[in-house]
Amino acid sequence: MSHYHITSKEQYKQAYQESVENPEEFWSSIAENFQWNKKWDTVLNFDFSKPEINWFQGAKLNITENCIDRHLFERGNKTALLFEPNNPSEGAEHITYQQLHDRVCKMANVLKNQGIKKGDRVCLYLPMIPELAISVLACARIGAIHTVVFAGFSASALAARILDCDCTLVITSDGAFRGSKTIDLKGIVDKALKDCPDVKTILVAKRIYAEITLTEGRDYWLQPLLDKAETICKPEVMDAEDPLFILYTSGSTGKPKGMVHTTAGYMVYSAFTFKNVFQYEEEDVYWCTADIGWITGHSYIVYGPLANGATSVMFEGVPSHPDYGRFWDIVEKHKVNQFYTAPTAIRALAKQGAKWPKSYDLSSLKVLGTVGEPINEEAWHWYDEQIGKGNCPIVDTWWQTENGGILITSLPGITRQIPTYATLPMPGIQPCLMDEKGEEITTTEASGKLCIKFPWPSIARTIWGNHDRYRDTYFSAFKNKYFTGDGALRNAEGLYRITGRVDDVIIVSGHNLGTAPIEDAIDEHPNVSESAIVGFPHDIKGNALYGFVTLVDGEGSEKLKKEINNLISEKIGPIAKLDKIQFTEGLPKTRSGKIMRRILRKIASNETDSLGDISTLLNPEVVENIIKERLS
C-alpha cells in the first residue's frame, strides 16, 4: 500500500516502520505516484564510506513533466504560482499551470537558442519574480543544471559561485525592488563577471526599468527573446541520478560548498514531504516566505508544491513594507491556508505588536510552519496565539541544504507538537545521537551530536568538484553515518529538539554564515592583523556577529569599523556584517596556536562567570583585558 498521503497517527507509525524495515519497498511505492519515462531497475544502492548514493537507478524522467505537464488536463486553469509583488498596488499575478507550461517552454527555448545543453550550468541571480521560478524550471526542462545565487550576495560572492561550477550563462534583472529601496543587480553581475571569462551570455529581465548598460554580444533583454520563442519544448529525458541543481551553502571553513542534488530522489522526497508536512488539499493556497535563493525556496516554493499540483505564493517584498501588516494582508487577500516562515521573521513581527495581525482576517490559516533555526519558546507562543489563534498546528521543520527536504518535524494535527521541538523523523529518516567518544547513544533520553544512519532519496550526492570534501565534511566524523553538524536532545518519548550548530557555522536571521570566510574578508584590511568571529544571542536575528580584531598598528576607530563592515559587505554581502567589533591587543590561543573561540563566545554572550580553566592558554592575560573592554 502506498503511504503517499499520511492522514493519521496510526498511518504515520505504520509508514515509519515500513520505511525502516523495508526502505526499498516503501520508497518504490511512494515513487509510483509520479510520471516516469522508464521505471527504475534498483531502488537504492549506497555505500556511506565512499560515499556513493544512488536512488531509482535506471529510471528516466523529467521533473518538469511531473511539476507541470501532468497537471495540465485536470488543473490547466488552476493557479500554479501566485505572484505577490513588492508594491501591493501593482496587484497580484495568477499564473495558471497552462501559462506556467507555456512560459517555462519559452524560457527553455531561449536557453537552447543560446546554446545551453543538458549538463551545462546556468546561474540565476534574480529577485523573487516569476522569471526566477520559470528559469529554474526551464533549466530542468532541458537538463541544464541551475545554480541560484541569492540576490543579496555581493559581486565577489557571486563570482566565486559562478567560477566554482563554471556557469556559461547568467539570468538576472535590471534591478530589484526591496521594500522602499531598489538594488542594482545588473551592476553587481557586471562587476562579478570581470572575473568570470567563461560566461558568454547574460539575459536581463526588466523589472525596475532602470537605465542600465548592455554589453554588446553578451547581454540581451530577455523579453524580446521570449516573445519570439515557441511555447512547446520537449522535455529532455533525464536519468534518475542526473544532477538537477547545485546550491551553495556556507561551510565552517573554506569556500562555499556547491551541494549537488539529483533528479528523481529529490523530486520524490520534496513532493512527499510537502504533501504530508503541510497536509495540502486540492483547493488550498500555500505560502512559503523564503527566497528561492535558499533550499527552502527550491523545495517548498517550486518543486514540492508544483509536483503536487498546488497553488504556491511567491512574494517579492519584505515583511515591513509598506508596513508591518504586509504578511497578514497577503494571508487575508489570498486566503492563505498554509504559511511557512522563519523564526527571525516571527520575532521581528512579534516585536511590532499584536495590533498588526489583529487588523486582518487570518481565519483561512490551517497550518503554520517554521524553518531555518531553533525557534525560541516566546516566538513559538506568539506565532501560535497571534497568528494561529490557538487553532493551527505548528510544524517546526528541521532540515538542511544538504538534505533536499524536511527530515524532522511533526505532522500537523496528526503527531504530537511541543514548542521548540522538531519532534519526529519523517518516514525514511533514521536519526541517532552520538556521544563524545563517537558511540551511538542507545538510551532514549539523551543529548549528543545528530547523525542520520541511512540514506533518504534527496540527500545531496556530492559537493560540486570536490567529492573528498563531501566525504570529509559529512561522512568522516562517524563511521557509516551522515553527520549533520547540529546538536540535539531526545526526550523520554523519543522526540527530538535541535539545540544548534556544533561547528563554526553561525545562523544569523536564518542565514548560515561560516566564520572563516568572514574572518578572511576582515583580514584583507591592511591594518588588521587577526580576527575571530563568534555569535551572540540577538532578540530578532537569533544570533548576531561579534568580531574580535587585532590591529597591525594604531588604535581602533569608528572609521575602521565601517571599513571592516564595508569589506565584509563587498566580499560576502550585507547579511554577514558584524553587529559589534571589539579591537583587542591579542586573541586567546591554545599552545598550538588555535584561537579559543569557545572563550570568545562566552565573552560575547556575557557569560564570563563560566569561562572554565584558562590557565592552559598560551596567553591567559589577554582574556582579562578583553572582558574589561567587552562591548555591551
543 scored as a contact of ligand WTA (CB under 6 A)? no
CB 242, CB 72: distance < 8 Å: no
Binder of ligand WTA out of 175, 374, 457, 547 (CB under 6 A): 374
Piece of the chain touching ligand WTA by CB under 6 A; list 31-39, 119-127, 369-377, 610-618: 369-377
**Footprint (CB under 6 A) of ligand WTA, residues 289-318:** 294-296
Question: Looking at beta carbons only, is 512 or 582 nearer to ligand WTA?
Answer: 512
Residue 245, C-alpha cell as written in the block: 541543481
Q: Tell me how far, at minimum, the Cβ of 399 lies from ligand WTA, in Å.
A: 5
507 scored as a contact of ligand WTA (CB under 6 A)? yes
Residue 443, C-alpha cell as written in the block: 538510551
Q: Tell me how far, at minimum, the Cβ of 501 lies from ligand WTA, in Å.
A: 5
470 scored as a contact of ligand WTA (CB under 6 A)? no
User: How far, in Å, CA of 599 to CA of 286, rounded?
Assistant: 44
Please report the beta strands in 228-376, taking only residues with DSSP state E, as ranges in sequence order: 238-239, 243-249, 257-262, 285-288, 311-315, 338-341, 367-370
Angle (CA) 73-134-460 rounded to 5° is 100
Binder of ligand WTA out of 308, 401, 430, 565 (CB under 6 A): 401
371 scored as a contact of ligand WTA (CB under 6 A)? yes
252 scored as a contact of ligand WTA (CB under 6 A)? no
Residues in the interface with ligand WTA (CB under 6 A) total 22
247 scored as a contact of ligand WTA (CB under 6 A)? no
Q: Tell me how far, at minimum, the Cβ of 226 lies from ligand WTA, in Å.
A: 32
Residue nearest to ligand WTA (CB): 401
Neighbours of 80 (CB within 10 A): 26
Q: Is residue 557 classed as helix, strand or coil in its secondary structure?
A: coil
Q: Tell me how far, at minimum, the Cβ of 335 lies from ligand WTA, in Å.
A: 26
**Footprint (CB under 6 A) of ligand WTA, residues 159-178:** none
485 scored as a contact of ligand WTA (CB under 6 A)? yes
Question: Looking at beta carbons only, is 396 or 504 nearer to ligand WTA?
Answer: 396
Question: Looking at beta carbons only, is 173 or 370 nearer to ligand WTA?
Answer: 370
Q: Residue 425 gets which letter from DSSP?
A: B
503 scored as a contact of ligand WTA (CB under 6 A)? no
**DSSP of 143-202:** TPEEEE--TTS-HHHHHHHHHHHT-SEEEEES-EEETTEEE-HHHHHHHHHTT-TT--EE
Piece of the chain touching ligand WTA by CB under 6 A; list 51-59, 170-178, 309-317, 393-401: 393-401
Q: Is residue 504 classed as helix, strand or coil in its secondary structure?
A: coil
Q: Tell me how far, at minimum, the Cβ of 542 lies from ligand WTA, in Å.
A: 10
User: How far, in Å, CA of 3 to CA of 276, rounded?
Assistant: 10
User: How far, in Å, CA of 200 to CA of 219, rounded?
Assistant: 9
CB 40, CB 59: distance < 8 Å: yes
Piece of the chain touching ligand WTA by CB under 6 A; list 267-275, 390-398, 452-460, 555-563: 390-398
User: How far, in Å, CA of 250 to CA of 112, rounded?
Assistant: 32
Bridge-partner residues for 169, per DSSP? 122, 201
HSE-CB at 172 with a 13 A cutoff on CA atoms is 30
373 scored as a contact of ligand WTA (CB under 6 A)? yes
* Interface ranges with ligand WTA (CB under 6 A): 249, 294-296, 371-374, 396-401, 422, 484-486, 498, 501, 507, 512
